[in-house]
A and B are shown apart, each in its own frame.
Chain A
Amino acid sequence: MSAPGSHAVSTRPYLLNAPALGLFLALFVAPLLMTFLLSFNTFDMNRGGILDEYSWVNYLEVLGDSYFHEIFLRTLLISLAVTLLCVLLGTPEAYILHRMASPWKSICMLVILGPLLISVVVRTLGWAILIGSNGVINHALIGMGLVDQPIKLMFTNTGMVIALVHVLIPFMVLSVWASLQKLDPRVESAGLSLGATPFVVLRRIVLPQIMPGVLSGSLIVFALTASAFATPSILGGRRLKVVATAAYDEYLGTLNWPLGAAIAMLLLIANVVIIVSYNKYIERRYAQVFK
């Protein structure tokens, strides 16, 4: 940061940004604008597909059809369930990791974060093998005589939620972990030495300070679940559609691109509104923590 301001009118920073800016305008802004416009196009298979007529018809169809209501509602409920489970399981896990001694701590971190580097397709395949009606879990349960009939998890909302928690919980652990790093251990010790029980220390000292991490972790998990494609598609099958798989089917199944574009746009708008307003809320609520 040498002499900031001396280059205030220099064109150099703009030149340095120009290549990335050019690519982003051409391949990020233009395609999104095209999809936005496409979502207003009319589609009629009998008249040759996409027509040059603009209207709100696609949005009215999505917002007025109970078929799509069910898809949006299912996506919302799955996202809430996955987020809640990630908070309830990921937060204590991050805290336990935080209190671990060094060699074990890094090994556990590796096990939890490593899956982030492995393709979601592979991780979902693992769950498909585990929970299928011929799957490993059912074989084991029947073999042990615990159940007579295979438990149905494949192609159910429960199966999707379990697998999505597995896919996304590393983000939760990571986010809480990052805020635990900023925690001053002496404050905890002070609380204990002044006679607070470990539970009170956890409740009154640790939890308030890691709340920003929990909240931003839930935001990541919620947003990624709401737009998840691979896991719902493989484990939910054709019947249990979510928003992302519904858009996929409109594009590559029925070839109704304008309707698919409208679904995608609604997903994008919901995503951006939730992220921006949630971030605003966190920043306002926890302004002092970020300083």
Chain B
Amino acid sequence: MNRNTPLALAFNLIFLLFMLAPLVVVCLVAFTSKGYISLPSDGFSLRWFKAILDNPHFIDAFYLSFYLGVASATIAIGLALPASLAFARYRFAGREVFLAFFLSPLMVPHIVLGVSFLSFLTSVGGYGTFLGLVLCHVIIIMPYALRLVLASVTGMDRSAEKAATSLGASPWVTFRRVTLPMILPGVAGGWVLAFITSFDELTMSVFVASPSTTTLPVRMYQHITETIDPLIASLSAALIFVTMIVMFILDRAYGLDRILVGKGK
């Protein structure tokens, strides 16, 4: 019906190039054979990818960030699930307030959360502990988890639940065998988005990460502020490749626009 004019298509092309340029350049530089930042003009080399594996700082930080993401996303979903059931199925005094409260970390700049968590963890003795880091991340990713879980609980057809109950299933069995399988796609989507948000988080973590609990983005940030070398480019390129795979899966399963709508709010 409507067609874009050639001018519009040219604009679109430039826009896409602008979006891709910094990512493509990181991936190209990662294959350089030289010891400094340069495009691989004389052949591709994997030496900087091998160098990642020889760098225990990055490897340790990667594992820490991975476990941190798994733990905080799982806890966030564990808290968001019962809360979503309450929001979707009950009208209770303070419902709007509770919901706004759980979404409010989105309104607080991460730098403010970072300084607050640092003071708090220092005063209760949680600074430098994995648990402290996990709980701080739960606060940050809770809004994302809650939104996606709430959307799937709200959109769910409840007749199957009623059938199960009328056939004599206990509330727990109904939840476990009927409700949970039905909302699982939304819950899984929420978990993945929460994991990615935790895995990528820098600004808050830079405050609460101690030398023994340094996450991957914090380690990379510290590295970049000192030196920009092909090693950091190859690590970034590896992250881009992995993220692209996850992105394709998410897009196939849910549609990227539906998952990300309102991510920034």
A residues lining the B interface (CB < 8 Å): 1-2, 4-5, 7-8, 10, 12-14, 16-17, 19-21, 23-24, 27-28, 30-32, 34-35, 38, 89, 92-93, 96-97, 99-100, 106, 108-130, 132, 134-136, 163, 166, 168-171, 174, 177-178, 185, 188-189, 216, 220-221, 223-224, 226-227, 229-230, 233-234, 243-244, 247-248, 251-252, 257, 260-261, 264-265, 267-268, 271-272, 275
Are A96 and B256 in contact, CB atoms less than 8 angstroms apart? Answer: no
Indicate which residue in B16, B39, B200 contacts A120 across the interface (CB closer than 8 Å).
B200
Pick the interface stretch among B43-51, B131-139, B178-186: B131-139
Indicate which residue in A13, A111, A112, A125 contacts B233 across the interface (CB closer than 8 Å).
A125
Within 8 Å CB of B253, what residues of A? none
Distance between Cα atoms of A157 and B88 in the complex (Å): 46
Summarize B's interface: helix, strand, loop or mixed: helix
**Other contacts beyond A2-B158, A97-B12: 13, CB < 8 A:** A1-B89, A4-B91, A31-B116, A114-B256, A115-B23, A118-B23, A122-B239, A126-B21, A229-B203, A244-B109, A247-B111, A248-B111, A248-B207
Distance between Cα atoms of A234 and B11 in the complex (Å): 29
Are A96 and B11 in contact, CB atoms less than 8 angstroms apart? Answer: yes
Q: How far is the CB of B179 from chain A (nearest CB, A)?
A: 13
Known: A112-B16, A136-B39. A117 touches B246 (CB 8 A): yes
Indicate which residue in B98, B113, B120 contacts A17 across the interface (CB closer than 8 Å).
B98
Known: A35-B115, A96-B8. A229 touches B206 (CB 8 A): yes
Indicate which residue in B87, B118, B233, B243 contacts A251 across the interface (CB closer than 8 Å).
B118
Distance between Cα atoms of A159 and B89 in the complex (Å): 49
Name the residue on B nearest A29 (C-beta).
B101
Within 8 Å CB of B128, what residues of A? none
Known: A136-B25, A227-B111. A122 touches B88 (CB 8 A): no
Residue among A30, A117, A124, A174 with max Cβ neighbours from chain B (10 Å): A117
Are A111 and B207 in contact, CB atoms less than 8 angstroms apart? Answer: no
Within 8 Å CB of B187, what residues of A? none
